[in-house]
Amino acid sequence: TIKNPRLWWPIFKGNPELYELKLTVSIDGKVSDEIKTRFGIREITSDQNTPDKSRQFYVNGKKLFIRGTNWIPEGMLRTSDERTYAELRYTKQSGINLIRMWGGGIAESDYFFQLCDEMGLLVWQEFWMTGDTKHPQDKDLYLSNVEATVKRLRNHPSLVYYVSSNESTEMPGAKDLIMKLDGTRGYQMQSECDGVHDGSPYKQVNPMQHYENTASERGSRVDGFNPEYGSPTIPTVETLREVMDEKDLWPINKEVWDYHDGGGFHLMSTMYTDLTNHYGPSSSIEEFATKGQAVGAMNSKSIWEVWNYNKFGYGDRYASGLLFWYHNCPVSQVCARMWDYSLEPTASLYHTQNALEPLHAQFDYLKNTVSVYNDYYQAFKDYKVAAEVYDLNSKKVWSKSQKIDIPEDGVVNDVFTIDFPQNITQVHFIKLRLFDTKGKEVANTFYWRSNDKYEGRKTLTGPTSFGFEDLSKLKQVQLKTRYKAYQEGDRHFIKAEIKNPSSTVAFFTQLQLLGQDKKPVRPSFYTDNFFSLLPGESKTVIIETATDDMPSEPTFVVKGWNIQSSSFKL
């Protein structure tokens, strides 16, 4: 019994406080044996006391909006501590707060759970059965594995929920055994019951569909608790060259691309390619991959922001949780997510990071409204949200600001509507900023939008999806770059200040740390990337990598959509 304990909290809700317990056995004053373990003190509960009986989670008595993801293990189980650290480091950076160990997977390593404890990441553990498989014949062996797993993992505060299977049924006796071994966590038979509805979409759709809640042929998806809802992002061109031969890479060899897309499941060679071509036809795989990053960024950001909008019924619907399908790439493929199999991040990591920041101003492409999301257990009074619209010539053509009070763990929806001028250029840009009571900017978001009219879910029309060809007319920009390279312990850092001194928007700026072979240094951790800078705007980015991974003569590269590429030998 501990009085006034330091509670363990998930990301953005407080500190993931941990205690250490040391047990020592002494005989005649001499230590015979000892063991240490760390633990956290917290309470995780859930119920179905929601308008549609969807599952709702609570941490330490407070509601917890789940912005989670589905973890797929490395395809041949060739994992390592370095890979585990990198993937969880990216996960924390993205703002994800729960990892579902999908039923077709495994129970990850002790090191995995140790890092989740330290990073404040919740874990939903399933037990290796899915609707694609049959029950194992050896029931006793299966239950023995369950017992060993629960005993190994049950001391971790990050572990919050048990589920017997993915879209299947439980092995008889599993629930009683799990509850006997650990009655402190919730349990459900499979992933789509007890207030968790069926998932989808899993593949590429028109991003406009997310806003009108018709993203799946199977029905309404942005409601309650959705265990699987996601979209793909193409890897960077460096990764694509490692996936397939150049002759198949460009022009796109549909048969080979589909092979690296699970038989074309995510529609990378069809719908994703069509959306990318709406930024203008490409003349090379480099150009196509660059434009494809914009499509992936739009995919991810639109999904997360729609779920933000509907948090706890603040929007048109009541949403309690989303698990993105899927999180990490188990094999080399063309349908990556926030990073690819090689551990190279895509634009989706940084645009997800922006959408999931704890205080966030966001734009709705269907309603043209501005809203503000809050993930903190703290209210904020007398804040100000401001919006600016710039045309393709980087001229400010509209602006508005408004004072707001932001409720604790809530949303201020539809603060105001952006009235786009009738004569605005076909492609234009939106900058949202959030200011505290002292006028300090605490969050900002950048969008690109077209004038195209959305004509329904069976089309690829709309301001997220069509009519971006004019981006090619942006004037070239030469960015000013100042950087400092330094080392601390076994980590290497580059602190770079990127400034846009021009009168033109610097669109989709990408930073890269490359080795002598021109391949990205992996894994590397960028505090931001694939960002856009307004005229006169600057950004500081820190790049970190392990000293052991740093090549002898690295090159730091700054490039982008309309940016004159610069490289610096470190």
pLDDT at 340 over 80: yes
Question: In whole angstroms, how far apart are CA 194 and each of 66, 146, 190, 201, 261?
Answer: 16, 21, 9, 21, 32
pTM (whole model) above 0.75: yes
Dihedral sign for Cα 184, 188, 191, 195, please: negative
Rounded to the nearest 10 degrees, how much is the dihedral formed by the CA atoms of 522, 125, 201, 189? Answer: 170
Strand, coil or helix: 528 = coil
Sheet strands (E) in 192-324? 224-229, 319-324
Task: Give tens-digit pLDDT for 238-260.
Answer: 999 999 999 999 999 999 999 99
* DSSP class per residue in 148-178: HHHHHHTT-TTEEEEEEEBSS-PPTTHHHHH
Task: Spell out the residues 6+ positions from residue 496 whose beta carbon is closer than 8 angstroms to its own.
Answer: 481, 482, 483, 511, 540, 541, 542, 543, 556, 558
- 471 vs 392: CA distance, rounded Å: 8
pLDDT of residue 75: 87
Q: Which of 1-5, 109-113, 473-477, 529-533 has the lowest mean pLDDT?
A: 1-5
Task: Give tens-digit pLDDT for 70-126.
Answer: 999 888 988 999 999 999 999 999 999 999 999 988 899 999 999 999 999 999 999
- 375 vs 438: CA distance, rounded Å: 21
Task: Give tens-digit pLDDT for 543-565.
Answer: 999 988 888 889 999 999 999 99
Altogether, the residues listed in the chain come to a count of 570
Closest of 530, 548, 226, 484 to residue 350, by C-alpha: 530
Residue 527 in tokens = 């505090």
Task: Spell out the residues 6+ positions from residue 499 whose beta carbon is closer than 8 angstroms to its own.
Answer: 479, 480, 481, 482, 533, 536, 537, 538
The rounded mean pLDDT for the chain is 95
Beta bridge partners of 491: 488, 546
- 268 vs 299: CA distance, rounded Å: 13
Rounded to the nearest 10 degrees, how much is the dihedral formed by the CA atoms of 219, 222, 223, 228? Answer: 80
pLDDT at 219 over 70: no
Mean pLDDT, residues 44-65 taken together:
96
Residue 512 in tokens = 């890269």
Q: By the 8 A CB rule, do 492 and 546 touch?
A: yes
Q: Which class for 471: exposed (0-12), middle (13-18), buried (19 or more C-beta within 10 A)?
A: buried
Query: Which DSSP category does 473 fall into?
Result: G
pLDDT of residue 105: 85
Beta bridge partners of 566: 558
